[in-house]
């Protein structure tokens, strides 16, 4: 009988422990699900464009959530060393640290996906912030934000617009814009010094404002350091087709261009493919992120990259939700606040020390407002570069 009683007591104890453990697991699950949900909708370039979309994803997944995307779906926790190394040198002092959020990413394969994806994040996922990556999502964010005033939205590279295409000022939307013309200018100034043939290539994706600002700045930069250089410009009409970027690059190389710059998203990856196949003396200039760090492109022949910190802007927007400091309106990021810049890559291999100092001086002149860089390529011809720098 005693053995039977002991057995019953042990069974009861084990059941209690199991219930406690189950309750603890349930509490842990609730705690995890209780994290702030942040949604993001990519542009059609999608994950893996090595450019614009990937930069936004780095700000959300890597920096805010401290997670690494696992191919095929899902996440793995990022190590502290990998986290620290993901933050570039110019942002090391910006107090970037994990924010304990849950990222939910929906990729857009076509423009028709924008509104459904954004709506899903709002209505089904209950995201506290929904991020629209790129100018092309201006209408979709404008539409959904007006009908869901209790959800916050971040729009990159544009302000929200209504069905008629008119800009609307919404109390639940913050827009992050960038001075692409400023970093484009520095890339152009470097290209002007680096070219040996006096011919430089420019490859654009679609003629939308951010891309046009890149082009305007690039042309103005070339004009400043090498006014006799000829720029061969081509637009592919796409941000998603590397084959078009490669074809455009081959066309410009055939016309003796030896330094090429693209503002074409994933399409521009084809430009680097064309350059890598040829090697020296050709140089490629990346866009949005430091493409010289990407082993899948052409790091050995990446002269520089015109960078804009979409990653940091995304992180800041997420942080504003976490610390309850969200404010609607427009935030413009420029050289003066580290929002844009250029990557060192192989600049020292192509330019002299004196030329590099001049690039630095030009950068400071922009910060000090001694130079105003045009935003429209059509206005570059009439624009006068500084007489001394």
Structure confidence by residue, pLDDT tens digits, 136-191: 999 999 999 999 999 999 999 999 999 999 999 999 999 999 999 999 999 999 99
375, pLDDT greater than 70:
yes
Q: Are 37 and 126 in contact (CB under 8 A)?
A: yes
Q: How far is CA 384 from the centre of its chain?
A: 31
Mean pLDDT of 291-303: 96
Determine the 3-state secondary structure of 227 from DSSP: coil
pLDDT band at 386 (very low <50, low <70, confident <90, very high): very high
- Given pLDDT bands bounded at 50, 70 and 90, which one contains residue 25? very low
What tokens appear for 331 in the block?
């935030």
Among the residue ranges 24-28, 172-176, 235-239, 267-271, the one predicted with the least confidence is: 24-28
In order of their start, the domains of the chain are 37-178 (3.40.50.2300), 181-307+352-379 (3.40.50.2300)
The pLDDT value given to residue 43? 93
How far, in Å, are 121, 159, 225 from residue 328 at the CA level? 19, 11, 40
How many Å apart are CA 375 and CA 334, to the nearest integer?
13
From the CB of residue 364, how many other CB atoms can be counted at a distance below 10 Å? 13
Residue pLDDT, tens place only, 48-70: 888 889 999 999 999 999 999 99
Q: Is the pLDDT of residue 365 over 50?
A: yes
Burial of 177 (0-12, 13-18, 19+ CB in 10 A): buried
Query: Residues for the chain: how many in total?
Result: 389
**Phi, psi at 169, each rounded to 5°:** -100, 110
Q: Whole-angstrom Cα distance, residue 60 to residue 187? A: 27
Residue 186 C-beta-side C-alpha neighbours within 13 Å: 32
The answer on pLDDT for 18 being more than 50 is no
Contact 41, 130 (CB under 8 A): yes
| Interior/surface letters 198-211, b for 16+ CB within 10 angstroms, e for the rest | ebbbbbbbbebebb
pLDDT at 313: 97
Written as one string, the DSSP assignment of 308-336 is E-HHHHHHHHHHHHHTT----EEEEE-GG
Chain segment 193-213, per-residue pLDDT in tens: 999 999 999 999 999 999 999
Above pLDDT 90, what percent of the chain? 86
Tokens of 144: 């959904």
Looking at residue 115, its pLDDT comes to 98
Question: Is the per-residue pLDDT at 15 higher than 60?
Answer: no
pLDDT in tens, 29-55: 333 445 899 999 999 989 988 888 999
Strand, coil or helix: what is 285?
strand
Q: Which helix (H) or strand (E) holds 341?
A: strand 340-342
For 71: left if phi > 0, alpha if psi spans -120 to 50, otherwise beta; the answer is beta
User: What is the share, in percent, of the chain residues with pLDDT greater than 70?
Assistant: 91
Q: pLDDT digits over 65-111, tens only?
A: 999 999 888 999 999 999 999 998 888 999 999 999 999 999 999 99
What distance in Å separates the CA atoms of residue 98 and residue 61, rounded to the nearest whole number?
10
Closest listed residue to residue 193, CA positions, set 340, 360, 367: 360
Grade residue 14 by pLDDT with cuts at 50, 70 and 90. very low
Distance from chain centroid for Cα 372: 24
Mean residue pLDDT across the chain: 91
- Beta bridge partner(s), residue 106: 41
Binned at pLDDT 50, 70 and 90, residue 17 comes out as very low
Q: What is each CA distance from 355 to 181, 191, 268, in whole angstroms?
A: 20, 11, 27
CA trace torsion 53, 54, 58, 61 (10° rounding): 80
What pLDDT, on a 0 to 100 scale, did the predictor assign at position 34?
59
């Amino acid at each position: 009988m005693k053995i039977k009683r002991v057995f019953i007591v042990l069974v009861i104890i084990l059941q209690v422990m199991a219930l406690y453990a189950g309750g603890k697991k349930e509490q842990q699950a609730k705690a995890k699900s209780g994290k702030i949900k942040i949604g993001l909708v990519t542009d059609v370039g999608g994950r893996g464009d090595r450019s614009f979309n990937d930069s936004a994803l780095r700000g959300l997944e890597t920096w805010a959530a401290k997670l690494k995307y696992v191919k095929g779906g899902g996440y793995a926790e990022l190590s502290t060393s990998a986290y620290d190394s993901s933050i570039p040198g110019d942002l090391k002092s910006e107090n970037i640290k994990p924010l304990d959020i849950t990222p939910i990413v929906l990729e857009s394969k076509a423009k028709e996906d924008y509104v459904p994806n954004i709506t899903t994040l709002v209505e089904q996922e209950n995201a506290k912030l929904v991020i629209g990556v790129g100018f092309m999502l201006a209408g979709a964010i404008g539409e959904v934000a007006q009908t869901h005033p209790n959800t916050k939205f971040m729009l990159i590279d544009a302000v929200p617009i209504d069905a008629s295409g008119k800009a609307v000022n919404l109390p639940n939307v913050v827009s992050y814009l960038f001075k692409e013309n400023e970093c484009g200018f520095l890339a152009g100034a470097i290209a002007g010094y680096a070219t040996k043939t006096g011919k430089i290539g420019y490859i654009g994706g679609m003629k939308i404002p951010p891309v046009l600002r890149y082009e305007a700045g690039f042309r103005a930069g070339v004009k400043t350091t090498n006014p006799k250089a000829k720029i061969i410009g081509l637009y592919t009409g796409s941000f998603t087709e590397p084959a078009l970027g490669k074809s455009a690059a081959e066309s410009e190389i055939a016309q003796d261009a030896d330094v090429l710059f693209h503002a074409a998203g994933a399409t521009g990856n084809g430009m680097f493919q064309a350059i890598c196949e040829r090697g020296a003396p050709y140089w490629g200039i990346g866009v949005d992120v430091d493409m010289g760090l990407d082993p899948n492109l052409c790091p050995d022949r990446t002269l520089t990259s015109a960078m804009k910190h979409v990653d940091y802007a995304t992180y800041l927007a997420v942080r504003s939700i976490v610390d309850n400091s969200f404010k609607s309106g427009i935030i413009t990021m420029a050289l003066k606040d580290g929002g844009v810049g250029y990557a060192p890559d192989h600049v020292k291999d192509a330019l002299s020390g004196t030329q590099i100092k001049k690039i630095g001086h030009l950068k400071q002149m922009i910060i000090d407002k001694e130079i105003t860089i045009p935003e429209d390529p059509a206005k570059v011809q009439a624009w006068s570069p500084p007489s001394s720098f």
